Amino acid sequence: MTHDDARGDYREVEVSEEEAGARLDAWLSDRLEVSRTRVQRWLAAGEVRRLDEEGAGEHAKSDTVEPGWRFGVTIPAPKKTELVAEDIPLDIVYEDEDLAVVDKPAGMVVHPAPGHPGGTMVNALLHHLDSLGGVGGRLRPGIVHRLDRETSGLLVVAKTDRAQTGLQDALRKRKVKRLYTAMTWGHIRSDSWPLKIDAPIGRDGKDRKRMTVRPDGRTAVTRLRVRDDFPAAQLLDVALQTGRTHQIRVHLWYIGHPIVGEPVYARGGALGISGPMQGWARGLERRTPRQFLHAAELAFDHPVSGERVHVKSPLPEDLEKALTWARERR
């Protein structure tokens, strides 16, 4: 349950059987996708209250949660930040009166956040789309899903409240097709394709900027299909069934085949390739200026008309050059 409160957003969350035994602050951090430090501040300020009749009231950060416990969290309103429309070039590949699909370039942050008050895709959208207004919240108007800063490709943006609600519902029900192109280190072996990775993801307990596979994480499912093989890498089609933070990057790292050029989960990069293929791997790494991950295809039923919207995006020039090099030197 989510609604606007006079002081900010209000959310209600319930502990599942799989999540039992976790610390309250860690569990809320994962469920709300915020830092544990922030959750601890909310707990200290009395913004978190247990709602089920048996244990209604406030709880300590170190309490161990049990199945069926429900909590209401009042998230304090952020400091006032005025969103400014900025004349930033934006590739809008589809648009009607309800929504738009944007082909985001690598290096662009989707919405304002600490350290990125401007120059974001939202700032550009406010300039290009007159009807965006206050759809979906003051700081993230129209945003239905996100891409990491260094991931390029397709994003759908709602222009009306009806479209926002419909698209969010479709994402929850896994009715939005999101297909990515990725280059990964090594060669994935599987008896059947597409390969399904079903591994829950939560925030890393040692590094809050990283996500990791953990048994108390949120359900995360990714499907892979090999498009091309190279001496020390593979080109993959990657389909998201869920949409967790860093999901593709974490799942590929988890199975031992991190994304080429990825700075967080693929530390060491080509150094992990030994033997005669190491020279080839280093050559590919030098020619890959960022993580080789691109949101290449987006398909969904229009939330108002019901018609199928299907949009594709070719590899941007920087990744296409790296792919051409790999194909010419295999």
Q: State the catalytic residues.
A: 148
**CA 191 to CA 196: how far, in whole Å?**
11
Q: Is 55 helix (H, G, I), strand (E, B) or coil?
A: helix
> C-alpha distances in angstroms, 329 versus 237, 279, 283, 284, 288?
21, 11, 10, 10, 15
What is the helix (H) or strand (E) element at residue 44, kind and residue range?
A: helix 36-44
Q: Which pairs count as long-range contacts for 102-105, CB under 8 Å and 24+ apart, including other chains?
A: 102/154, 102/155, 102/156, 102/157, 103/152, 103/153, 103/154, 103/313, 104/147, 104/151, 104/152, 104/153, 104/154, 104/155, 104/295, 105/152, 105/316
CA-angle at 112, arms to 304 and 201, nearest 5° = 75
CA atoms within 13 A on the CB side of 195: 17
**CA 290 to CA 201: how far, in whole Å?**
23
Whose tokens are 């069934």? That residue is 241
**CA 145 to CA 168: how far, in whole Å?**
8
**CA 231 to CA 149: how far, in whole Å?**
29
Q: Is 159 helix (H, G, I), strand (E, B) or coil?
A: coil
| Contact indicator for 297, 228 with CB cutoff of 8 Å | no
**CA 204 to CA 193: how far, in whole Å?**
30
Residues 6 or more apart whose CB falls under 8 angstroms from that of 30 comprise 22, 202, 203, 216, 217, 218
The answer, yes or no, to whether the previous bond of 117 is cis (omega within 30 of 0) is no
